[in-house]
Copies of this chain bind each other. A is one copy, B any other.
Amino acid sequence: MQPFELSASEAARQIKSKDLSPVDLVQSLLDRIDSLEPALKAWVYLDREEVLTEARRKEQEVGSGTTVGPLHGVPIGLKDIYYTAGIPTTACSKLYADFVPEYDATTVSSLKRAGAIMLGKTVTTEFACMDPSPAINPWNPAHTPGGSSSGSAVAVASRMCPAGMGSQTVGSVLRPASYNGLVGFKPTFGRVSRYGVIPVSWTLDTMGWLVRTVEDAALLLQVMAGPDSADPVASRTEVPDYLKGLETPAAPRIGFLRRFFYEQADPETQKNVDQALRQLSQAGAQVEELPMPDSIDTAIADQLLIMSVEGAAFHQPMYEKRAQDYQPKLREMLGRGLAVDAATYSRAKERRLQFVTDMELLAEKADVLLTPSTPTAALADLSNTGNTMFQGPWTYCGLPAITLPSGLAQSGLPLGIQLAASPFDEARLLAAARWCEGVLDLHLAPPV
Protein backbone atom coordinates (compact mmCIF):
# COMPACT_ATOMS: atom_id res chain seq x y z
CA MET A 1 0.00 0.00 0.00
CA GLN A 2 1.37 3.37 -0.97
CA PRO A 3 1.23 6.20 1.59
CA PHE A 4 -1.45 8.10 -0.37
CA GLU A 5 -3.78 5.12 0.03
CA LEU A 6 -3.69 5.10 3.82
CA SER A 7 -6.66 6.11 5.88
CA ALA A 8 -6.16 8.99 8.32
CA SER A 9 -6.16 6.63 11.31
CA GLU A 10 -3.70 4.22 9.72
CA ALA A 11 -1.39 7.05 8.67
CA ALA A 12 -1.53 8.46 12.22
CA ARG A 13 -0.66 5.05 13.66
CA GLN A 14 2.28 4.57 11.31
CA ILE A 15 3.56 8.09 11.94
CA LYS A 16 3.34 7.61 15.69
CA SER A 17 5.20 4.31 15.49
CA LYS A 18 7.75 5.94 13.13
CA ASP A 19 6.89 3.48 10.37
CA LEU A 20 5.86 6.40 8.18
CA SER A 21 7.42 9.81 7.81
CA PRO A 22 4.96 12.71 7.55
CA VAL A 23 7.20 14.10 4.82
CA ASP A 24 6.90 10.91 2.78
CA LEU A 25 3.15 10.90 3.30
CA VAL A 26 2.79 14.51 2.20
CA GLN A 27 5.10 13.96 -0.77
CA SER A 28 3.09 10.93 -1.82
CA LEU A 29 -0.12 12.95 -1.69
CA LEU A 30 1.44 15.90 -3.52
CA ASP A 31 2.65 13.57 -6.27
CA ARG A 32 -0.84 12.14 -6.50
CA ILE A 33 -2.27 15.66 -6.69
CA ASP A 34 0.22 16.62 -9.39
CA SER A 35 -0.92 13.69 -11.43
CA LEU A 36 -4.69 13.91 -10.88
CA GLU A 37 -5.58 17.53 -10.12
CA PRO A 38 -5.46 18.76 -13.74
CA ALA A 39 -8.32 16.39 -14.53
CA LEU A 40 -10.20 16.42 -11.22
CA LYS A 41 -10.06 20.09 -10.15
CA ALA A 42 -10.55 19.43 -6.46
CA TRP A 43 -8.32 22.14 -5.02
CA VAL A 44 -8.64 25.90 -4.73
CA TYR A 45 -5.49 26.58 -2.75
CA LEU A 46 -2.43 24.48 -2.05
CA ASP A 47 1.00 25.73 -0.98
CA ARG A 48 3.38 22.82 -1.60
CA GLU A 49 6.35 24.45 0.09
CA GLU A 50 4.45 25.40 3.21
CA VAL A 51 2.91 21.94 3.50
CA LEU A 52 6.30 20.23 3.15
CA THR A 53 7.80 22.58 5.73
CA GLU A 54 4.98 21.68 8.10
CA ALA A 55 5.51 17.97 7.40
CA ARG A 56 9.20 18.31 8.24
CA ARG A 57 8.25 20.02 11.50
CA LYS A 58 5.89 17.13 12.32
CA GLU A 59 8.63 14.67 11.52
CA GLN A 60 11.04 16.42 13.86
CA GLU A 61 8.43 16.41 16.62
CA VAL A 62 8.00 12.66 16.29
CA GLY A 63 11.77 12.23 16.22
CA SER A 64 12.31 14.39 19.31
CA GLY A 65 9.84 12.36 21.33
CA THR A 66 7.34 15.23 21.74
CA THR A 67 3.88 13.96 22.70
CA VAL A 68 1.95 13.77 19.47
CA GLY A 69 -1.76 14.33 18.90
CA PRO A 70 -4.15 11.76 17.42
CA LEU A 71 -3.80 13.24 13.92
CA HIS A 72 -0.11 14.02 14.08
CA GLY A 73 1.25 14.52 10.60
CA VAL A 74 -2.00 13.62 8.84
CA PRO A 75 -2.88 15.97 5.95
CA ILE A 76 -6.47 17.18 5.73
CA GLY A 77 -8.28 19.16 3.04
CA LEU A 78 -10.58 22.04 4.01
CA LYS A 79 -13.64 23.06 2.04
CA ASP A 80 -12.99 26.66 1.05
CA ILE A 81 -15.54 28.07 3.47
CA TYR A 82 -13.42 27.24 6.56
CA TYR A 83 -11.53 30.29 7.81
CA THR A 84 -7.76 29.82 7.62
CA ALA A 85 -5.65 32.58 9.14
CA GLY A 86 -3.66 34.36 6.47
CA ILE A 87 -4.88 32.04 3.72
CA PRO A 88 -7.61 33.04 1.24
CA THR A 89 -11.07 31.69 1.96
CA THR A 90 -13.13 32.37 -1.12
CA ALA A 91 -16.22 30.18 -0.89
CA CYS A 92 -15.45 29.82 -4.63
CA SER A 93 -17.25 33.11 -5.14
CA LYS A 94 -16.32 36.37 -6.81
CA LEU A 95 -17.73 38.06 -3.73
CA TYR A 96 -15.11 36.56 -1.42
CA ALA A 97 -12.29 36.51 -4.01
CA ASP A 98 -10.13 38.79 -1.87
CA PHE A 99 -11.08 37.55 1.58
CA VAL A 100 -8.23 36.46 3.82
CA PRO A 101 -9.38 35.60 7.35
CA GLU A 102 -7.30 36.70 10.33
CA TYR A 103 -8.07 33.60 12.32
CA ASP A 104 -8.73 29.87 11.92
CA ALA A 105 -12.16 28.29 12.27
CA THR A 106 -12.47 26.56 15.64
CA THR A 107 -12.52 23.19 13.85
CA VAL A 108 -9.31 24.08 12.02
CA SER A 109 -7.67 25.00 15.33
CA SER A 110 -8.83 21.68 16.79
CA LEU A 111 -7.44 19.72 13.85
CA LYS A 112 -4.13 21.56 14.10
CA ARG A 113 -3.96 20.98 17.86
CA ALA A 114 -4.44 17.26 17.15
CA GLY A 115 -1.39 17.46 14.89
CA ALA A 116 -3.08 17.49 11.49
CA ILE A 117 -1.48 19.25 8.55
CA MET A 118 -3.75 21.56 6.56
CA LEU A 119 -3.03 20.27 3.07
CA GLY A 120 -5.03 22.90 1.23
CA LYS A 121 -8.46 24.35 0.50
CA THR A 122 -10.90 22.28 -1.55
CA VAL A 123 -13.41 23.35 -4.14
CA THR A 124 -16.95 24.12 -2.99
CA THR A 125 -20.02 25.08 -4.94
CA GLU A 126 -20.45 28.84 -4.59
CA PHE A 127 -21.07 29.59 -0.90
CA ALA A 128 -21.83 25.89 -0.34
CA CYS A 129 -25.07 26.21 -2.32
CA MET A 130 -26.49 24.66 -5.47
CA ASP A 131 -24.55 25.95 -8.49
CA PRO A 132 -22.26 23.16 -9.75
CA SER A 133 -18.53 23.53 -9.03
CA PRO A 134 -15.63 22.69 -11.37
CA ALA A 135 -14.72 19.50 -9.41
CA ILE A 136 -14.89 16.26 -11.44
CA ASN A 137 -16.21 12.89 -10.24
CA PRO A 138 -13.19 10.53 -10.35
CA TRP A 139 -15.47 7.56 -11.05
CA ASN A 140 -16.66 9.10 -14.29
CA PRO A 141 -16.17 12.69 -15.43
CA ALA A 142 -19.59 12.77 -17.10
CA HIS A 143 -21.31 12.24 -13.75
CA THR A 144 -21.75 14.92 -11.09
CA PRO A 145 -19.48 14.59 -8.04
CA GLY A 146 -22.35 16.09 -6.03
CA GLY A 147 -22.02 19.15 -3.90
CA SER A 148 -21.55 21.34 -2.11
CA SER A 149 -18.49 19.66 -0.55
CA SER A 150 -17.41 18.52 -4.01
CA GLY A 151 -13.68 19.22 -3.80
CA SER A 152 -13.28 17.35 -0.50
CA ALA A 153 -15.27 14.43 -1.92
CA VAL A 154 -13.18 14.24 -5.08
CA ALA A 155 -9.86 14.69 -3.23
CA VAL A 156 -10.60 11.95 -0.69
CA ALA A 157 -12.10 9.53 -3.23
CA SER A 158 -9.14 9.90 -5.58
CA ARG A 159 -6.67 9.44 -2.72
CA MET A 160 -5.27 12.95 -2.97
CA CYS A 161 -6.01 13.32 0.73
CA PRO A 162 -7.21 10.90 3.45
CA ALA A 163 -9.83 13.26 4.89
CA GLY A 164 -11.65 16.39 3.82
CA MET A 165 -13.79 18.82 5.78
CA GLY A 166 -17.22 19.67 4.41
CA SER A 167 -20.46 21.16 5.64
CA GLN A 168 -24.08 20.13 5.27
CA THR A 169 -27.09 22.45 5.21
CA VAL A 170 -29.32 20.08 3.26
CA GLY A 171 -27.28 17.31 1.63
CA SER A 172 -23.77 18.68 1.14
CA VAL A 173 -21.61 16.09 2.95
CA LEU A 174 -23.31 12.69 2.78
CA ARG A 175 -24.52 13.07 -0.81
CA PRO A 176 -21.12 13.83 -2.39
CA ALA A 177 -19.59 11.21 -0.07
CA SER A 178 -21.99 8.60 -1.39
CA TYR A 179 -21.61 9.73 -5.01
CA ASN A 180 -17.86 9.19 -4.67
CA GLY A 181 -17.86 5.89 -2.77
CA LEU A 182 -16.84 7.44 0.56
CA VAL A 183 -17.80 7.48 4.19
CA GLY A 184 -19.43 10.85 4.94
CA PHE A 185 -20.38 11.94 8.42
CA LYS A 186 -22.28 14.80 10.00
CA PRO A 187 -22.65 14.95 13.78
CA THR A 188 -25.66 16.17 15.72
CA PHE A 189 -26.48 19.84 15.18
CA GLY A 190 -24.44 21.60 17.88
CA ARG A 191 -21.90 18.83 18.45
CA VAL A 192 -19.11 20.62 16.56
CA SER A 193 -18.41 24.35 16.52
CA ARG A 194 -19.27 26.34 13.42
CA TYR A 195 -17.24 29.38 14.42
CA GLY A 196 -15.21 30.68 11.51
CA VAL A 197 -17.08 28.93 8.74
CA ILE A 198 -18.91 31.00 6.13
CA PRO A 199 -22.59 30.24 6.79
CA VAL A 200 -25.44 29.24 4.54
CA SER A 201 -28.21 28.96 7.10
CA TRP A 202 -27.65 29.40 10.83
CA THR A 203 -30.28 26.89 12.01
CA LEU A 204 -29.23 24.20 9.51
CA ASP A 205 -25.49 24.37 8.83
CA THR A 206 -23.63 21.41 10.27
CA MET A 207 -19.94 20.72 9.95
CA GLY A 208 -19.13 17.32 8.48
CA TRP A 209 -16.32 15.38 6.89
CA LEU A 210 -15.55 12.96 4.09
CA VAL A 211 -13.25 10.02 4.78
CA ARG A 212 -12.80 6.42 3.66
CA THR A 213 -13.42 4.52 6.91
CA VAL A 214 -15.78 4.73 9.86
CA GLU A 215 -12.77 4.79 12.15
CA ASP A 216 -11.63 8.01 10.47
CA ALA A 217 -15.10 9.53 10.89
CA ALA A 218 -14.89 8.79 14.61
CA LEU A 219 -11.32 10.02 14.98
CA LEU A 220 -12.15 13.38 13.43
CA LEU A 221 -15.24 13.69 15.61
CA GLN A 222 -13.18 12.99 18.71
CA VAL A 223 -10.84 15.80 17.78
CA MET A 224 -13.52 18.39 16.94
CA ALA A 225 -16.50 17.65 19.23
CA GLY A 226 -17.14 19.93 22.15
CA PRO A 227 -18.22 23.35 23.33
CA ASP A 228 -16.91 26.64 21.96
CA SER A 229 -17.44 29.93 23.71
CA ALA A 230 -17.33 31.63 20.30
CA ASP A 231 -20.28 29.62 18.96
CA PRO A 232 -23.58 29.73 20.85
CA VAL A 233 -24.77 26.71 18.85
CA ALA A 234 -21.93 24.49 20.12
CA SER A 235 -23.34 22.30 22.86
CA ARG A 236 -21.83 21.74 26.27
CA THR A 237 -23.10 18.15 26.26
CA GLU A 238 -20.32 15.84 27.44
CA VAL A 239 -18.04 14.34 24.78
CA PRO A 240 -17.69 10.55 25.16
CA ASP A 241 -14.94 8.29 23.81
CA TYR A 242 -16.11 7.65 20.25
CA LEU A 243 -13.28 5.30 19.33
CA LYS A 244 -13.71 2.82 22.15
CA GLY A 245 -17.06 1.53 20.85
CA LEU A 246 -15.49 0.76 17.47
CA GLU A 247 -13.20 -1.94 18.82
CA THR A 248 -15.77 -4.68 19.29
CA PRO A 249 -19.02 -3.35 17.83
CA ALA A 250 -22.17 -5.38 18.36
CA ALA A 251 -24.83 -6.17 15.77
CA PRO A 252 -27.23 -3.20 15.93
CA ARG A 253 -31.00 -2.96 15.95
CA ILE A 254 -31.71 -1.33 12.59
CA GLY A 255 -34.86 0.65 11.88
CA PHE A 256 -35.42 0.52 8.13
CA LEU A 257 -37.29 3.49 6.65
CA ARG A 258 -39.30 2.50 3.64
CA ARG A 259 -41.60 5.51 3.53
CA PHE A 260 -40.12 8.61 1.90
CA PHE A 261 -36.67 7.02 1.49
CA TYR A 262 -36.61 3.51 0.04
CA GLU A 263 -39.87 4.00 -1.86
CA GLN A 264 -38.41 7.02 -3.71
CA ALA A 265 -35.17 5.30 -4.69
CA ASP A 266 -34.69 3.85 -8.17
CA PRO A 267 -34.91 0.05 -8.65
CA GLU A 268 -31.19 -0.64 -8.60
CA THR A 269 -30.76 1.43 -5.44
CA GLN A 270 -33.63 -0.48 -3.85
CA LYS A 271 -32.03 -3.75 -4.89
CA ASN A 272 -28.73 -2.64 -3.42
CA VAL A 273 -30.43 -1.78 -0.11
CA ASP A 274 -32.30 -5.11 -0.12
CA GLN A 275 -29.01 -6.88 -0.51
CA ALA A 276 -27.26 -4.85 2.18
CA LEU A 277 -30.13 -5.50 4.61
CA ARG A 278 -29.95 -9.20 3.83
CA GLN A 279 -26.21 -9.26 4.56
CA LEU A 280 -26.58 -7.25 7.76
CA SER A 281 -29.47 -9.37 8.90
CA GLN A 282 -27.63 -12.61 8.17
CA ALA A 283 -24.70 -11.29 10.18
CA GLY A 284 -26.94 -10.76 13.19
CA ALA A 285 -28.53 -7.31 12.91
CA GLN A 286 -32.18 -7.06 13.93
CA VAL A 287 -33.94 -5.23 11.12
CA GLU A 288 -37.37 -3.74 11.71
CA GLU A 289 -39.33 -1.45 9.41
CA LEU A 290 -40.23 1.84 11.13
CA PRO A 291 -42.76 4.43 9.96
CA MET A 292 -41.67 7.92 8.96
CA PRO A 293 -43.82 10.54 10.74
CA ASP A 294 -46.42 12.53 8.78
CA SER A 295 -44.53 15.73 9.55
CA ILE A 296 -42.10 14.71 6.76
CA ASP A 297 -44.78 15.92 4.33
CA THR A 298 -44.01 19.60 4.89
CA ALA A 299 -40.39 19.19 6.00
CA ILE A 300 -38.64 19.35 2.65
CA ALA A 301 -40.37 22.48 1.40
CA ASP A 302 -40.00 24.13 4.80
CA GLN A 303 -36.31 23.33 4.90
CA LEU A 304 -35.75 24.99 1.52
CA LEU A 305 -37.76 28.02 2.66
CA ILE A 306 -35.72 28.29 5.86
CA MET A 307 -32.45 27.89 3.98
CA SER A 308 -33.42 30.61 1.52
CA VAL A 309 -34.45 33.01 4.29
CA GLU A 310 -31.40 32.42 6.46
CA GLY A 311 -29.10 32.54 3.45
CA ALA A 312 -30.70 35.85 2.51
CA ALA A 313 -30.34 37.11 6.10
CA PHE A 314 -26.57 36.64 5.80
CA HIS A 315 -26.07 37.71 2.20
CA GLN A 316 -28.50 40.65 2.09
CA PRO A 317 -25.90 43.46 2.36
CA MET A 318 -23.75 41.93 -0.41
CA TYR A 319 -26.72 40.88 -2.52
CA GLU A 320 -28.14 44.38 -2.49
CA LYS A 321 -24.90 45.73 -3.95
CA ARG A 322 -23.70 42.90 -6.19
CA ALA A 323 -26.54 40.53 -7.05
CA GLN A 324 -25.10 40.04 -10.55
CA ASP A 325 -21.90 38.57 -9.11
CA TYR A 326 -23.70 35.55 -7.67
CA GLN A 327 -24.12 32.40 -9.72
CA PRO A 328 -27.68 31.90 -11.00
CA LYS A 329 -29.08 29.27 -8.62
CA LEU A 330 -27.80 31.06 -5.54
CA ARG A 331 -28.90 34.47 -6.84
CA GLU A 332 -32.37 33.08 -7.39
CA MET A 333 -32.44 31.53 -3.92
CA LEU A 334 -31.39 34.77 -2.23
CA GLY A 335 -34.00 36.75 -4.12
CA ARG A 336 -36.61 34.21 -3.04
CA GLY A 337 -35.44 34.31 0.57
CA LEU A 338 -35.60 38.09 0.73
CA ALA A 339 -39.21 38.03 -0.45
CA VAL A 340 -40.44 35.80 2.40
CA ASP A 341 -42.38 37.45 5.19
CA ALA A 342 -41.50 36.72 8.80
CA ALA A 343 -44.85 35.18 9.73
CA THR A 344 -44.52 32.56 6.98
CA TYR A 345 -40.98 31.71 8.08
CA SER A 346 -42.07 31.55 11.72
CA ARG A 347 -44.85 29.08 10.91
CA ALA A 348 -42.34 26.91 9.04
CA LYS A 349 -40.05 26.94 12.08
CA GLU A 350 -42.92 25.92 14.31
CA ARG A 351 -43.75 22.98 12.04
CA ARG A 352 -40.06 22.13 12.12
CA LEU A 353 -40.15 21.77 15.90
CA GLN A 354 -42.82 19.09 15.52
CA PHE A 355 -40.72 17.29 12.92
CA VAL A 356 -37.64 17.35 15.15
CA THR A 357 -39.64 15.88 18.02
CA ASP A 358 -41.15 13.21 15.77
CA MET A 359 -37.74 12.22 14.42
CA GLU A 360 -36.18 12.10 17.88
CA LEU A 361 -38.93 9.77 19.02
CA LEU A 362 -38.45 7.66 15.90
CA ALA A 363 -34.71 7.39 16.50
CA GLU A 364 -35.33 6.04 20.00
CA LYS A 365 -36.93 2.95 18.50
CA ALA A 366 -33.69 1.47 17.16
CA ASP A 367 -29.93 1.81 17.48
CA VAL A 368 -29.78 3.27 14.01
CA LEU A 369 -32.21 4.18 11.25
CA LEU A 370 -31.25 3.00 7.77
CA THR A 371 -32.07 4.42 4.35
CA PRO A 372 -30.45 4.42 0.92
CA SER A 373 -28.00 7.35 0.85
CA THR A 374 -29.38 8.81 -2.37
CA PRO A 375 -32.31 8.05 -4.68
CA THR A 376 -29.88 7.12 -7.46
CA ALA A 377 -26.13 6.93 -7.95
CA ALA A 378 -24.53 10.15 -9.29
CA LEU A 379 -26.23 10.94 -12.57
CA ALA A 380 -24.62 11.82 -15.90
CA ASP A 381 -25.87 15.39 -15.57
CA LEU A 382 -23.42 18.17 -14.78
CA SER A 383 -26.10 20.88 -14.74
CA ASN A 384 -26.89 20.20 -11.10
CA THR A 385 -25.29 18.56 -8.10
CA GLY A 386 -27.91 15.86 -7.58
CA ASN A 387 -30.89 15.10 -5.40
CA THR A 388 -30.53 16.17 -1.75
CA MET A 389 -33.82 14.63 -0.65
CA PHE A 390 -32.44 11.75 1.44
CA GLN A 391 -29.99 13.93 3.35
CA GLY A 392 -32.32 16.86 3.97
CA PRO A 393 -34.45 15.33 6.73
CA TRP A 394 -31.41 14.52 8.89
CA THR A 395 -29.92 17.95 8.58
CA TYR A 396 -33.37 19.44 9.19
CA CYS A 397 -33.96 17.52 12.41
CA GLY A 398 -30.35 17.73 13.56
CA LEU A 399 -29.76 14.01 14.13
CA PRO A 400 -26.28 12.61 13.40
CA ALA A 401 -25.90 10.65 10.15
CA ILE A 402 -23.30 8.69 8.26
CA THR A 403 -23.09 7.17 4.78
CA LEU A 404 -21.17 4.01 3.86
CA PRO A 405 -20.50 2.62 0.40
CA SER A 406 -22.73 -0.37 -0.33
CA GLY A 407 -21.92 -1.28 -3.92
CA LEU A 408 -21.86 -0.03 -7.49
CA ALA A 409 -24.67 0.89 -9.84
CA GLN A 410 -24.91 -0.37 -13.44
CA SER A 411 -23.25 2.89 -14.46
CA GLY A 412 -20.22 1.95 -12.36
CA LEU A 413 -20.91 4.77 -9.93
CA PRO A 414 -21.06 4.02 -6.17
CA LEU A 415 -24.16 3.48 -4.08
CA GLY A 416 -24.41 3.93 -0.32
CA ILE A 417 -26.50 3.31 2.74
CA GLN A 418 -27.21 6.07 5.22
CA LEU A 419 -27.52 5.52 8.97
CA ALA A 420 -28.83 8.01 11.55
CA ALA A 421 -29.25 7.92 15.32
CA SER A 422 -30.49 9.87 18.33
CA PRO A 423 -29.10 13.34 19.04
CA PHE A 424 -25.67 13.31 20.67
CA ASP A 425 -25.55 9.54 20.34
CA GLU A 426 -22.74 9.55 17.79
CA ALA A 427 -21.01 6.81 19.77
CA ARG A 428 -23.87 4.41 19.04
CA LEU A 429 -24.11 5.54 15.41
CA LEU A 430 -20.41 5.10 14.75
CA ALA A 431 -20.23 1.70 16.45
CA ALA A 432 -23.19 0.49 14.36
CA ALA A 433 -21.64 1.94 11.21
CA ARG A 434 -18.35 0.23 11.99
CA TRP A 435 -20.18 -3.08 12.38
CA CYS A 436 -22.02 -2.60 9.07
CA GLU A 437 -18.76 -1.61 7.36
CA GLY A 438 -17.20 -4.87 8.54
CA VAL A 439 -20.11 -6.94 7.30
CA LEU A 440 -20.36 -5.26 3.89
CA ASP A 441 -16.55 -5.39 3.57
CA LEU A 442 -16.32 -3.33 0.39
CA HIS A 443 -13.13 -1.80 -0.89
CA LEU A 444 -14.13 0.73 -3.52
CA ALA A 445 -11.73 2.97 -5.34
CA PRO A 446 -12.35 5.03 -8.46
CA PRO A 447 -10.51 4.14 -11.67
CA VAL A 448 -7.96 6.94 -11.46
Task: Flag whether A310 is at the interface (Cβ < 8 A).
Answer: yes
A358 → B minimal CB distance (Å) = 8
Q: Which residues of B contact A345 (CB under 8 A)?
A: 342, 345-346
CA distance A288 to B397 in the complex (A): 41
A319-373 contacts to B, CB under 8 A, are: 337-338, 340-347, 349-350, 353-354, 356-357
A289-320 contacts to B, CB under 8 A, are: 309-310, 312-313, 316
Are B346 and A232 within 8 A (Cβ)? no
Are B343 and A312 within 8 A (Cβ)? yes
Known: A232-B357, A313-B350, A347-B313. A340 touches B341 (CB 8 A): yes
CA distance A354 to B232 in the complex (A): 6
Q: Which residues of B contact A347 (CB under 8 A)?
A: 313
Task: Flag whether A233 is at the interface (Cβ < 8 A).
Answer: yes
Known: A338-B341, A341-B340. A346 touches B309 (CB 8 A): yes
How many identical subunits does the complex contain? 2
Task: Flag whether A45 is at the interface (Cβ < 8 A).
Answer: no
Task: Flag whether A260 is at the interface (Cβ < 8 A).
Answer: no
Are B342 and A344 within 8 A (Cβ)? yes
CA distance A357 to B230 in the complex (A): 10
- Closest B residue to A346 by CB, please name it: B313
- Closest B residue to A227 by CB, please name it: B357
Q: Which residues of B contact A202 (CB under 8 A)?
A: 346, 350, 353
Are B341 and A233 within 8 A (Cβ)? no
A181-237 contacts to B, CB under 8 A, are: 202-203, 232-233
- Closest B residue to A232 by CB, please name it: B357
Are A343 and B350 within 8 A (Cβ)? no
Q: Contact mask A19-33 → B, CB, 8 Å, 1/0?
A: 000000000000000
- Closest B residue to A354 by CB, please name it: B232
CA distance A102 to B267 in the complex (A): 47
- Closest B residue to A295 by CB, please name it: B232
Are A343 and B337 within 8 A (Cβ)? yes
- Tell me if A's interface is mostly helix, strand, loop or mixed: helix
Q: Which residues of B contact A357 (CB under 8 A)?
A: 232
Are B346 and A310 within 8 A (Cβ)? yes
A391 → B minimal CB distance (Å) = 22
Are A343 and B232 within 8 A (Cβ)? no
CA distance A32 to B195 in the complex (A): 60
Contact of A341 among B342, B349, B354 (CB under 8 A): B342
Q: Which residues of B contact A344 (CB under 8 A)?
A: 313, 342
- Closest B residue to A355 by CB, please name it: B232
A189 → B minimal CB distance (Å) = 12
CA distance A346 to B345 in the complex (A): 9
Q: Which residues of B contact A203 (CB under 8 A)?
A: 349
Are B313 and A232 within 8 A (Cβ)? no
A341 → B minimal CB distance (Å) = 6
Are A342 and B233 within 8 A (Cβ)? no
- Closest B residue to A361 by CB, please name it: B229
- Closest B residue to A350 by CB, please name it: B202
- Closest B residue to A347 by CB, please name it: B313
Q: Which residues of B contact A350 (CB under 8 A)?
A: 202, 313
A296 → B minimal CB distance (Å) = 15
Contact of A343 among B313, B346, B349 (CB under 8 A): B313
A303 → B minimal CB distance (Å) = 14
Q: 4 tightest CB-CB pairs across the interface, nearest first?
A: A342-B345, A232-B357, A313-B343, A340-B342
What are 13 of the A-B contact pairs (CB < 8 Å)? A202-B346, A203-B349, A232-B353, A232-B356, A232-B357, A309-B342, A310-B343, A312-B342, A312-B343, A313-B344, A337-B343, A342-B344, A345-B345
